[in-house]
Chain A
Amino acid sequence: MFWYIVRRLLQGIPVFFGSTLIIFAMVFAMPGNPILRMFGDRTPTDAQLAALEAQYHLNEPFLTRYFLYLGDVLQGNLGETFSGQSVNEILGRTFPTTLRLALLAVLIQLIVGVLAGLISGLRKGGLFDHVTLLVTLVLISVPVFVLAFVAQWFLGIQLGIFRPTVGQGAPWQDLILPAIVLAALNMAYVVRLTRGSVIETNNQDFVRMAYGKGLRRGRVIPVHILRNSMIPVTTNLAADFGIMIVGATVTEGVFNVPGVGNELFKAINRHDTPEIVSIVTILVIVYVLVNLFIDLLYGWLDPRIRYVK
């Protein structure tokens, strides 16, 4: 396990530097002088230009600038938006809401997805199985913003079960509808993975053995089948998280959830490039770290993984 962790951490290093470098390069390869843009219509004097270039390290070579920027990010200084707000402050304000939304979504996803996958896996080829497969196909196909609007229009406006937009302070009950939409995004994969893995486990000798020694279904299914089927579902959470970041941007935008995604959504609409880049950088870093964590978790859950290669 120790060497597995070391190897995985070492693999993570180039990914971390590489991904941040790519984002940095994309932004700074853009045409036009950012200092000139700061001045808008007015033309700065040469002295002002030089002073500002020195202040923002624009006269340094590319790699130096990259490491200065990375240093800033790692020290928790994420820069400012066009309007002069600190990105730190924005993230600090919005992050807890997004975290609550994501937790709720993962919870819904696991409860509904695993349950549906379990039932259709145990009754492979039955009516429930066919219906579930069809529903997952539709869930994969419908883009998240369409799903969000349909939910908002149908459940929020037509039926009035939920409030169509999230109110002040984002109370839990308002977050349920956006969380359902966010959960639905990945639900299909959770269901299918659980189903496939339940079918596989169901055919294993130890399950037959468990039934053979007289255990009830009520014990075999949760303890022997489900527990052993959850490993692929756990690893899927990494990919899940990537989809959820994008999904949260759209869902929070539609339902007006005051979270990070909504902030990114608004920044995009304001064409606030520095803010977009800061938020995307943070999201990518979080994504890389979450991936790392889930890989370690996977190694811990499934010893076979540690010895591959």
Chain B
Amino acid sequence: MSSKNPVRRAPHFVAEVDEGGLGAVDAVRVSERKSNLWLDAWRDLRGRWMFWVSAAVILFIVFVALFPTVFTQAPPNDQCFLSNSNGGPQPGHPLGFTFQGCDVFARIVHGTSTSLTVGVIVTVMVAIMGIVLGAFAGYFGGWLDSFLMRIGDIFFAIPYILAAVVIMSMFLHQRDIWVISLAIGFFSWPATARILRSEVLRVKQLDFVMASEALGLSRVRTMFTHVLPNSIAPVIVVSTVGLAAAITAEATLSFLGVGLPNNIYMSWGNDIAAAQTSLRIAPQTLIYPSIALSVTVLAFIMLGEVVRDALDPKARAQR
């Protein structure tokens, strides 16, 4: 009502507003410094030594995995002479020999791709399963949510290495990279699903999701184009750390004797297990593969930690 009646204005006796301060606000060109989660994270990462160290180590490891022959000419699995058994370093064989007389350095270099491949396959698999199940559970809610989360509880209740031990002992004669990746990944998706679900629950309350639905996009389309991209950040962190966990899991399974067959794949876990008997006389056969394994895992965990800090605005504000 009141808006229709013209308001009688008082004569203008207020002093001129000093627009100097406001002018400063206007002078900030909003378009100049774009700011979103990923850009901020990148700006944060750029200035941290841990990020560069871990990224450099990971790039190096990937390079070793792709081109092992650049680093060593010695064959990892044949031309092993028992006369070299547990021998010390020789020209061309910088780290000495294993119990079977194979070149330790060559086995480490060639084992890199095994570890990395298993890690990547498991991570991709777990991420896909976790994202799809977590997104549907979180976004659609209701009985689908309860059902998927109860299934997740069940899988979560089985320590995944134990499950993998059972699966691997079932596949005694068909062990390869895919089987071991499945065995590890099949029981580790619930953590990813849970994290994505809680993030989706938060994001789906936001205005742009309602706007998208109001504009007539289907719910599935909205989920994939608006909800998922905005809730994926924690999954990236979990996946980076998960890659490290998968590499550890592969090595642990190989160490336990339910990993990849020793004669076909070079695996750090296998080598460490084999070196166990020579611990007293030839510690080098055990120490070097252990270092390779630990450094690889450390690099991914460090990357996961810095990325987590960078993607978490709260943690950023505290620093």
**Interface of A with B (CB < 8 Å)?**
11, 14-15, 18-19, 22-23, 26-27, 29-30, 137-138, 140-146, 149-150, 152-153, 157, 242-243, 245-246, 249-250, 253-254, 264-265, 268-269, 271, 273, 276-277, 280, 283-284, 287-288, 291
Complex Cα distance, B258 from A276, in Å, reads: 11
Q: Are B298 and A149 in contact (CB under 8 A)?
A: no
B137 touches A (CB below 8 Å): no
**Residue B139 is within 8 A (CB to CB) of chain A in the complex:** no
The 10 A-B residue pairs with the shortest CB-CB distance in the complex, in nearest-first order: A18-B154, A141-B298, A146-B290, A242-B159, A246-B161, A141-B297, A19-B157, A30-B170, A142-B294, A143-B248
- B158 near A19 (CB under 8 angstroms)? yes
Q: Are B257 and A268 in contact (CB under 8 A)?
A: yes
Instruction: Say which residue of A153, A269, A271 sits within 8 Å of B279 (CB atoms).
Output: A153
User: How close is B205's CB to chain A, nearest CB, in angstroms?
Assistant: 17
Interface positions of B from 141 to 172, Cβ below 8 Å from A: 150-151, 153-155, 157-159, 161-163, 165-167, 169-170, 172
Task: Say which residue of A144, A157, A287 sits within 8 Å of B159 (CB atoms).
Answer: A287
Q: Is the CB of A157 within 8 A of B157?
A: no
Query: How far apart are A146's CB and chain B's nearest CB, in angstroms?
Result: 4
A271 partner, pick from B166, B167, B172, B294, beta carbons under 8 A = B172
- Give min CB distance, A250 to chain B, whole Å: 7
Q: In the docked arrangement, what's the CA distance between A150 and B287, Å?
A: 8
CA–CA, A219 and B253, complex, Å: 48
- Residues from chain B with a CB closer than 8 A to the CB of A245 are 159, 162
In chain B, what residue has the closest Cβ to A138? B298
Roughly how many angstroms separate A152 CA and B257 CA in the complex, as a whole number?
Answer: 20
- The verdict on B9 contacting chain A, using a C-beta distance below 8 Å, is no
Contacts of B279 in A (CB 8 A): 149, 152-153, 157
Interface size of B by Cβ–Cβ distance < 8 Å? 42
Q: A146-B272, A157-B280, A242-B159 are in contact. List 15 more A-B contacts (CB 8 A).
A: A19-B154, A22-B155, A22-B163, A23-B158, A26-B170, A137-B305, A141-B297, A142-B294, A143-B252, A243-B159, A245-B159, A269-B257, A273-B170, A276-B169, A283-B159
* Contacting residue for B169 out of A22, A144, A273, CB 8 A: A273
Select the residue from B169, B248, B256 with max chain A CB neighbours within 10 A. B169
Q: Which of A23, A143, A280 lies at the interface centre, i.e. has the most chain B CB atoms within 10 A of its CB?
A: A143
Complex interface: chain B residues within 8 A of A273 (CB): 169-170
23 residue pairs A–B, Cβ–Cβ below 8 Å: A15-B153, A22-B154, A137-B301, A137-B305, A140-B301, A141-B294, A142-B297, A143-B294, A143-B297, A145-B251, A145-B269, A152-B279, A153-B279, A243-B159, A268-B169, A268-B256, A268-B258, A271-B172, A273-B170, A276-B169, A277-B166, A284-B158, A287-B157
Q: Is B104 an interface residue (CB 8 A)?
A: no
Task: Assess whether B276 is interfacial by the CB under 8 Å rule.
Answer: yes
Interface of A is mostly: helix
Q: Is B302 an interface residue (CB 8 A)?
A: yes
CB distance from A165 to the nearest CB of B (A): 11
Contact B301 A149 (CB under 8 A): no
**CA–CA, A141 to B170, complex, Å?**
29
Is the C-beta of B244 less than 8 angstroms from some C-beta in chain A?
Answer: yes
Alpha-carbon distance between A266 and B71 when the two chains are bound, in angstroms:
37
B248 to chain A: which residues have CB within 8 Å? Answer: 143
Task: From A14, A246, A253, give the contact of B154 (CB < 8 A).
Answer: A14
Please determine whether B165 and A284 come into contact, CB atoms closer than 8 angstroms. Answer: no
What's the Cα separation between A138 and B287 when bound, in Å?
A: 16
A106 to chain B, nearest CB (A): 17
Among B161, B251, B286, point to the contact of A149 (Cβ < 8 A): B286
Residues of chain A within 8 A of B153, CB atoms compared? 11, 14-15, 18
Which of B252, B257, B273, B280 is A144 in contact with, Cβ under 8 Å?
B252
Contacts of B272 in A (CB 8 A): 145-146, 149
B75 in contact (CB, < 8 A): no
Contact of B255 among A141, A145, A264, A271 (CB under 8 A): A145
**Interface digits, B294-319 against A, CB 8 Å rule (1 contact, 0 not)?**
10011001100100000000000000
Partner of B252, one of A27, A150, A250: A250
> Would you call B293 an interface residue if the criterion is a C-beta within 8 Å of the partner chain's C-beta atoms?
yes
0/1 per residue, B56-95, Cβ < 8 Å to A? 0000000000000000000000000000000000000000
Give the complex CA separation of A153 and B278 in angstroms: 11
Task: Verify if B229 is at the interface (C-beta below 8 Å from A).
Answer: no
| B167 CB contacts on chain A under 8 angstroms | 26
Bound complex: CA A144 to CA B161 (Å): 13
Interface residues of B in 223-241 (CB under 8 A from A): none
Which B residues touch A150, using CB under 8 A? 287, 290
Q: How far is the CA of A150 from the CA of B248 in the complex (A)?
A: 16
Cβ-defined contact, B157 with A291, below 8 A: yes
Minimal beta-carbon separation of A102 from chain B (angstroms): 14
Q: Nearest chain-B residue to A158 (Cβ)?
A: B283
Known A22-B154, A143-B248; contact A149-B162, beta-carbon cutoff 8 A = no
